[in-house]
Amino acid sequence: MANKTMLAAMPDELTAIVNSGYAIWANDEVDAALRARFDSRRIPVVGVRHVRVWGLQVDDERELPGLERTQMEDDEIWEVNLEAKDGSRFEVESRLLKPAPAE
């Protein structure tokens, strides 16, 4: 599912999810209709993807001469591909998940 280089770059909690192969929701922030599509005890993990969202830089010399640069930082996102009860797959942000307890 994940190569050694990718595993080394992952946050520890995501590595635990990948190694176990199962996840559960970290909290109740996820919409109930989406959560209902998945097993309530162990959600199968079928893949992981690392996404980098590039930041934004805006230059506007009209407003602040000499201090015209505004910048937003890049964001690193780990997407986890989950398998629903009906076999369909959904990508969700890893921060919404935690490792499932061992059976």
Q: How far is CA 66 from CA 31, 59, 80, in A?
A: 46, 10, 43
Report the first-to-last Cα separation within the chain, whole angstroms: 21
The pLDDT value recorded for residue 60 is 60
- Compute the average pLDDT of residues 17-35: 94
Give the helix/strand (H/E) hosting 23. Answer: strand 22-25
**pLDDT tens per residue across span 49-103:** 998 888 766 666 566 566 556 667 788 899 999 999 999 999 999 999 999 998 8
